[in-house]
Amino acid sequence: MKPIRTAASALAIALAVPGTAFAQTELSLWYHGAGNDVERSILVGIIEDFNASQDDWAVVLEEFPQAAYNDSVVAAAVSGNLPDIIDVDGPVMPNWAWAGYMQPLQLSEGALDGFLPGAIGEYNGEVYSVGLWDAAVAMYARRSTLEEHGIRIPTLDAPWTRDEFDDILETLQASGEFEYALDLGMADQGEWYPYAFAPFLWSFGGGIVDRETYQTAEGVLNGDEAIAFGEWWQSLFDRELVPGTSQDMADREIGFIEGDYALQWNGNWFGIRTLEAVGDDLLFLPAPDFGNGPKIGGASWQFGVSSTSEHPEGASAFIEFAIQDEYLAAFSDGIGLIPATAEAAAMTENYSEGGPLEVFFGLSEAQAMLRPVTPGYVFQALEFRKALSDIANGADVIDTLDAATDAINDDIERNNGYATAQ
Amino acid sequence: MSSPGPQKSLQRHPLAGWLMIAPAVVLIATFLVAPFVLAFGYSFTNQRLISPNPTEFVGMRNFEQLLGIGVLTLSPEVDEAGSPVRDDDGALQYPRVRDYTRNNPDYPHLEGMREWFGWNWGNDRVLVLARDLVFMKALTNTLIFVAVVAPVQSALALLLALMINQKLRGINVFRTIYFMPVVVSIVVVSLLWRFIYDGRNGLLNNLLEFLSFGLFQPIDWLGNPDTALWAIIAMSIWQAVGFHMVIWLSGLQTIPVSLYEAAEIEGANAWQKFRFVTWPGLRNTAVLILVVITMQAFALFAQVDVMTDGGPVDSTQVLVFQAVQRGYEQQNIAGGSAISVILFLIVLAISITQRYLTRERT
């Protein structure tokens, strides 16, 4: 069927027949956001605009619930049924690109100018995916609480230092007004751990894996800086400054709003909800600086083209169409994420100048650092999460980091160094 | 059944039996036999869930990795005079294990191993190291789980069965209540018990506080490495006890009333009736229940997956959970398959032993 259709559409173009919708080649698109009506209506809007804007391609949407999405793509890849366009979580992209599920995008020169670095998915020197948005994490606080306890309000140029941050937590805890001084979100035991907590490790000077070669974690995840981070991390729980791994998700969602927690380390996607509850008193503060600058994680969901697509040029054309500022702004207004360009940010309610979440754009621009860009990240994230949980629950810091390092190195070795297949 | 005609010839047809068994055979072969044969094969390779690299045969490496064990004897640190150094509490000081297991050319066989357990031997400390500590913990936790659940659950179920095997008004209400947890999905039950065990304001903590007039200090049952496995054990026993109670009950009801009447006439007391009438009558039921509980206990997965994710600090890691984690989350199908094969061998060995011990003696 497909070659015939392609031939027909080629013929249609050759004859320059207007309005030949029947001659469009179908491109399938898989998306992870099933169940979210707002997300769906925006995406459907983009697809309709794209399909109407030209005569070659017709994108068809298929949606999956987020929890089942990655499994569906892997299953489809194994059975050879991948769609033309897939969306992919930023840090997972190198794994899929390496496994041969994805191919580099064919974007025109300058299409990604002005994009936040976290929205561009690059692997092996090629752009495989691009996001319409990025996400950012901030320290949620109440201005009134900080002023009452004489705590300095940090800025991007002068973030809290490690000692200052520790003093602040102790002060807040000692005030007795709060159940815990800080909520890290230990209840959210998924990608949140590496996304939200690896930046602390980076700021200490450690890392999950050596970023030069991606061949070893030795000395990076169990070096002196990482051990210092691990000991600090454990001390948060020993001093009972933060809720532990058995925190309930409901407490995570309402604890700061209800005043049980003085500070909260949370993503911008919680921003609007918290703002509605807390009002003008709410502050979004930059990450503390543990010695190597304040850091937060970058990269969210992005669009890419599958390796089995017969029409990669059409798939890329759709992606290039979708990354226009107006759609970036629409997604941001709809679901509260950070638009990928400054121009789009200016068009949004929340991220334009004076907008309530504007600060997140600055945080993302100034502090965002990508999680390790390697196919092994998927495994490394699991080991990192386990190590942080174990250390929080009292395991020996050095032994735990050693174990995670060994597990990561074994995995790299089992995969021949994650070398790209030639 | 002597009526002639097509019905008879169909029943007598040599293929009839095969046809009737076919659906079951096809299903079992597709979903049990084939996956097992595949897993057995994969466990000798480096099969990955996702990889551009071809699968290679690696022999026993996966098993060596899982089961590798080493012993290390540490002598206490000594000062210049040669006498052992003691810390403020008077305890002997030992060198760190990582000095021996990481990049130490004198101990290549211990490379990458971790301390599993150890004991004191004079002034020395003997340590058993494991190459895959998480697997070893999963193995021991699974064995503890089975060793506790199998006897306790079957005994409790028998007790419940004896209690409700009476002709009382409304006894069916009790039967229903005891059986209810069995019909509710284990995932739902696990979620509910997470709330019961909650460390801040869980039902269990509130109840204990109330009963002890506030003396009891709340415990984070699932967040504490010392209590998490026991919390799961208690909950699992409660959840499935009703199922085994029903099997005991069916066994109890096959015992002829005339035997009890005879015992009554002989003047037997309640214990003697149980010991010499009920228990011998339940022999086959007991064998069945023991085997079923043992197998179910080895398959522990959903409770761990929903309630603890194997934590805190590996205190609730179990074999099936590890097999799934490695195979899918860590994309290491070969590693997950190797664990499944080991689990199969353990269950097989235990079942054969149980069959032997409970065989009909002639």
The CA distance from B192 to B186, in Å, is 10
pTM of the shown model: 0.87
Interchain contact A124–B (C-beta under 8 A): no
Task: Indicate yes or no: CB of B313 within 8 angstroms of CB of A395.
Answer: yes
pLDDT of residue B124: 87
Six-digit token string for A357: 């979440």
Six-digit token string for B316: 């609730």
Among left, alpha and beta (phi > 0; psi -120 to 50; other), residue A257 is alpha
Q: How confident is the model at residue B1 (pLDDT cuts 50, 70, 90)?
A: very low
For the ranges A2-6, A275-279, A281-285, A346-350, which has the lowest average pLDDT?
Answer: A2-6
Determine contact, residues A173/A240, Cβ cutoff 8 Å. yes
A-chain residues near B222 (CB < 8 A): 246
Identify which of B96, B225, B329 has the shortest CB distance to residue A382.
Answer: B329
Average pLDDT in the A107-136 region?
A: 90
Tell me the pLDDT tens digit for each residue of B280-301.
999 889 989 998 999 999 999 9
A-chain residues near B329 (CB < 8 A): 382
Task: Indicate yes or no: CB of A248 within 8 angstroms of CB of B46.
Answer: no
Average pLDDT in the B315-326 region?
A: 94
Task: Indicate yes or no: CB of B52 within 8 angstroms of CB of A189.
Answer: no
**Domain map (residue ranges) of chain A:** 28-135+299-365, 137-297+376-418
State the best of B49, B50, B131 to mutate against chain A, taking most chain A CBs within 10 Å: B50
Range A122-160 burial, b when 16+ CB lie within 10 A, else e: bbeeebbbbbbbbbbbbbbbbeebbeeeebeebeeeebb
- The whole-angstrom distance between A54's CA and the closest CA on chain B is 36
Average pLDDT in the A347-375 region?
A: 88
Average pLDDT in the A256-263 region?
A: 95
**Domain map (residue ranges) of chain B:** 69-131, 134-357
pLDDT of residue A405: 94
Neighbour count for residue B286 (Cβ, 10 Å) = 16
State the best of A414, A420, A422 to mutate against chain B, taking most chain B CBs within 10 Å: A414
Token look-up 């026991």 returns: B230
Task: Indicate yes or no: CB of A398 within 8 angstroms of CB of B96.
Answer: yes
Task: Indicate yes or no: CB of B98 within 8 angstroms of CB of A398.
Answer: yes
Contacts of B221 (CB under 8 A, 6+ apart): B197, B199, B202, B204, B205, B227, B228, B231
Interchain contact A398–B (C-beta under 8 A): yes
Average pLDDT in the A218-225 region?
A: 94
pLDDT of residue B317: 95
Task: Indicate yes or no: CB of A415 within 8 angstroms of CB of B53.
Answer: yes
Determine contact, residues A350/A268, Cβ cutoff 8 Å. no
B-chain residues near A399 (CB < 8 A): 97-98, 114-115
B-facing residues of A in 163-222 (CB < 8 A) are: 189
The CA distance from B277 to A252, in Å, is 58
pLDDT of residue A110: 85
User: If you average pLDDT over each of B66-70, B77-81, B107-111, which comes out highest?
Assistant: B66-70
Determine contact, residues B145/B299, Cβ cutoff 8 Å. no
Q: How confident is the model at residue A17 (pLDDT cuts 50, 70, 90)?
A: very low
pLDDT of residue B39: 93
- The whole-angstrom distance between B345's CA and the closest CA on chain A is 26
Task: Indicate yes or no: CB of A393 within 8 angstroms of CB of B313.
Answer: yes
Tell me the pLDDT tens digit for each residue of A52-97.
999 899 999 999 988 788 888 988 988 889 999 999 999 999 999 9
Element (H, E) at B125: strand B124-130
List the CATH code of the domain at B134-357: 1.10.3720.10
pLDDT of residue B5: 52
Same fold, A28-135+299-365 and A137-297+376-418: yes
User: Does the pLDDT of residue B52 top 80, yes or no?
Assistant: yes
Q: How confident is the model at residue A14 (pLDDT cuts 50, 70, 90)?
A: very low
Question: A71: exposed, middle or buried (C-beta count within 10 Å: 0-12, 13-18, 19+)?
Answer: exposed
B-facing residues of A in 60-89 (CB < 8 A) are: 71, 74, 77
pLDDT of residue A421: 57
Neighbour count for residue A320 (Cβ, 10 Å) = 17
Determine contact, residues A324/A305, Cβ cutoff 8 Å. no
Element (H, E) at B16: helix B16-28
User: Does the pLDDT of residue B66 top 80, yes or no?
Assistant: yes
What count of CB pairs under 8 Å joins A to B? Answer: 73
Distances (CA, A) of B356 to A217, A296, B351, B361: 50, 61, 8, 10
The share of chain B scoring above pLDDT 70, in percent, equals 97
A-chain residues near B50 (CB < 8 A): 74, 77, 95-96, 99, 101
B-chain residues near A95 (CB < 8 A): 50
Determine contact, residues A113/A58, Cβ cutoff 8 Å. no
CA nearest to A417 within chain B: B53
Task: Indicate yes or no: CB of B200 within 8 angstroms of CB of A100.
Answer: no
CA nearest to B224 within chain A: A393
- In the CATH hierarchy, which fold is given to the domain comprising A28-135+299-365? D-Maltodextrin-Binding Protein; domain 2 (3.40.190)
Task: Indicate yes or no: CB of A245 within 8 angstroms of CB of B223.
Answer: yes
Determine contact, residues B115/B129, Cβ cutoff 8 Å. yes
pLDDT of residue A19: 44
- The CA-based angle A295-A300-A304, given to 5 degrees, is 135
Six-digit token string for B75: 């002598």
The CA distance from A238 to A244, in Å, is 10
The share of chain A scoring above pLDDT 70, in percent, equals 94
Token look-up 């600058």 returns: A293
Task: Indicate yes or no: CB of A246 within 8 angstroms of CB of B220.
Answer: yes
Token look-up 């006894």 returns: B171
Identify which of B50, B96, B311 has the shortest CB distance to residue A389.
Answer: B311
State the best of B47, B48, B53 to mutate against chain A, taking most chain A CBs within 10 Å: B53
Letter for the amino acid at B242?
G
- The whole-angstrom distance between B132's CA and the closest CA on chain A is 9
Determine contact, residues A237/A408, Cβ cutoff 8 Å. no
B-chain residues near A244 (CB < 8 A): 220, 223
Identify which of A71, A410, A421 has the shortest CB distance to residue B52.
Answer: A421
Identify which of A100, A378, A390 has the shortest CB distance to residue B313.
Answer: A390
State the best of B55, B313, B325, B326 to mutate against chain A, taking most chain A CBs within 10 Å: B313
DSSP state letters, A172-184? HHHTSS-SEEEE-
Q: Which of the 8 DSSP states describes residue A32?
A: S
Tell me the pLDDT tens digit for each residue of B242-273.
999 999 999 999 999 999 999 999 998 989 99
**Of residues A238 and B123, more confidently modeled:** A238
Q: How confident is the model at residue B8 (pLDDT cuts 50, 70, 90)?
A: low
Tell me the pLDDT tens digit for each residue of B200-259.
778 999 999 889 887 888 888 988 899 999 999 999 999 999 999 999 999 999 999 999
Interchain contact A421–B (C-beta under 8 A): yes
Interface of B with A (CB under 8 A): 46, 48-53, 96-98, 102, 112, 114-115, 133, 198-200, 220, 222-223, 225, 309, 311-314, 328-332
Identify which of A189, A248, A421 has the shortest CB distance to residue B53.
Answer: A421
User: If you average pLDDT over each of B118-127, B132-141, B214-223, which comes out highest?
Assistant: B132-141
Phi, psi torsion values for A304, nearest 5 degrees:
-145, 175
Determine contact, residues A115/A130, Cβ cutoff 8 Å. yes
The CA distance from A271 to A284, in Å, is 9
Average pLDDT in the A107-112 region?
A: 87
Q: How confident is the model at residue B144 (pLDDT cuts 50, 70, 90)?
A: very high
Identify which of A95, A101, A399 has the shortest CB distance to residue B114.
Answer: A399
Q: Please name the CATH architecture into which domain A137-297+376-418 falls.
A: 3-Layer(aba) Sandwich (3.40)
The beta-carbon contacts of B217-221 under 8 Å, at least 24 apart in sequence, are B220/A244, B220/A246, B221/B197
What ipTM does the predicted assembly reach?
0.84
User: Does the pLDDT of residue B199 top 50, yes or no?
Assistant: yes
Residue-averaged pLDDT of chain B: 89
Helix, strand, coil in percent for chain A, rounding step 5: 50, 15, 35
DSSP state letters, A106-163? -PPTTTTTTB-GGGEEEETTEEEEE-SEE--EEEEEEHHHHHHTTPPPP-SSSPPBHH
Tell me the pLDDT tens digit for each residue of A167-202.
999 999 999 999 999 999 998 888 899 999 999 999
- The whole-angstrom distance between A40's CA and the closest CA on chain B is 28
Beta bridge partners of A182: A263
- The whole-angstrom distance between A248's CA and the closest CA on chain B is 8
pLDDT of residue B346: 94
Residue-averaged pLDDT of chain A: 89
pLDDT of residue B196: 92
- The whole-angstrom distance between A74's CA and the closest CA on chain B is 8
User: Does the pLDDT of residue A12 top 50, yes or no?
Assistant: no
Contacts of A126 (CB under 8 A, 6+ apart): A104
The CA distance from A28 to A77, in Å, is 14
B-chain residues near A393 (CB < 8 A): 223, 225, 311-313
How far the first Cα of chain A sits from its last, in Å, is: 32
Identify which of B51, B198, B220 has the shortest CB distance to residue A99.
Answer: B51
